[in-house]
Amino acid sequence: MSKLYSDNAILWDACELPPNYDRQYVCGYDVDYKVWLNGGSGVLSDPANAPEYRYRDVNHFFDTDPDLGDSFPINPGADKDSGLAGSRGNIRWRHNKNTSANVLFADGTVRTMTKTVYYGTPGVKGDFLRSYLRPKWPPGFVAGP
Domain boundaries, the chain: 1-135
Tell me the pLDDT tens digit for each residue of 34-58. Answer: 655 455 556 666 666 677 778 887 6
For the segment 59-63, the average pLDDT, to the nearest whole number, is 75
Asked if residue 130 lies in contact with residue 78, where contact means CB atoms within 8 angstroms, the answer is: no
Three state DSSP letters for 30-43: CCCEECCCCCCEEC
For the segment 89-116, the average pLDDT, to the nearest whole number, is 95
The band of 144, judged by pLDDT with boundaries at 50, 70 and 90, is low
pTM: 0.85
